[in-house]
Amino acid sequence: MSVATSVTRDDVARAAETIRGRVRRTPLLDGSQLAPRLQLKAELLQYTGSFKARGVVNRLSALRPDERQRGVTGASAGNHAIALAWGAANEGLECTVFAWRTASEFKLERARGLGAHVDAESDNPSEVFVRLDQHIAETGSVLVHPFDDPLVMAGQGTVGLEILEDAPGVDVIVVPVGGAGLISGIAAAAAPRGVRVVGVEPEGSAALSRALEAGKPVAVSPRTIASGLDAPFAGANGLAVCRDLGVDVVTVSDEQIEEAMRRLYGDAKLACEPAGAAAVAAVLGAMVEGDSVVAVVSGGNVGPEIASAILARP
């Protein structure tokens, strides 16, 4: 199936119809205990614990019969791996996921538990794509990209449609950013309605910021507590959407992310992962302001040792 090289609001609307009833419609929660006029899109309550399920379901729905027979593969440090394993299991597809040695073992074990074969032999994210390409050449397996596939981006953008339906007066949506799939999908859904979309990156993993400055994807070497945002580059499709729709990007420190995670846990009773707290970190740091702000709490997959260490710090 041929796909466009960019994502529009119509693409996101079609994705919403495709995935309806197959993923959760996550709630929009009051976040005023954290900041005035703040609401929280609780995507950590999604199937598989993150927004990634949306893009996976939309992409797998487009597979041809011959592609289904060859199985699917992906590259991921965790959340996409879990979502792809879950989606493939639901569809009866063989699934292989490529990760790197230092990836979250907690997340990779969840992918294995859902039936995926996990290859974590690479030393770094760049090597992952080399091994993945070799696997595809040898097996004919179909790549389900974690962030730079238009169908994946459109599926992830359904988060934005739900926000607009539940908060019709929203003027700012704040989104954690890794490879730019989620933010570009949300921007495609919301920016044409006059909503400002702001991305939040860790200081140690600013792939989209660097890509916007350079006008093209730039390889980075991520170093951040927010492993869900450590993409080695921002996707070309996501970059194009963010550039064309005027997406803004701010960066936050790991310390700010950890503080936001503690506040979400203690005040909002949301047990998110560090990546899921990035948008709230920007709001708490007064980097984003608006009359009606929605922060996307994008995921809740975090190992107990990491979570307990962050929550125990003063």
Q: What percent of the chain has pLDDT over 90?
A: 87
CATH number at residue 113: 3.40.50.1100
pLDDT digits (tens, 9 = 90+) for 250-279: 999 999 999 999 999 999 999 999 999 999
What pLDDT is recorded for position 298? 97
Tokens at 119, concatenated: 């290859």
Count of domains observed in the chain: 2
Q: Is residue 251 one of the residues assigned to a domain?
A: yes
pLDDT digits (tens, 9 = 90+) for 52-84: 999 999 999 999 999 999 999 999 878 999 999
Q: Final residue of a domain: which of 143, 169, 193?
A: 143
User: What pTM was computed for the model?
Assistant: 0.95
Q: Are residues 73 and 15 in the same domain?
A: no
Q: Is residue 4 one of the residues assigned to a domain?
A: no
Structural domain range at position 129: 54-143
Q: Is residue 1 one of the residues assigned to a domain?
A: no
pLDDT digits (tens, 9 = 90+) for 23-52: 999 999 999 999 999 999 999 999 999 999
Q: Is residue 177 one of the residues assigned to a domain?
A: yes
Q: Final residue of a domain: which of 109, 143, 177?
A: 143
Q: Final residue of a domain: which of 143, 166, 181?
A: 143
Q: Is residue 189 one of the residues assigned to a domain?
A: yes
Q: Are residues 185 and 284 in the same domain?
A: yes
pLDDT of residue 174 exceeding 50, the answer is yes
Q: Are residues 16 and 127 in the same domain?
A: no
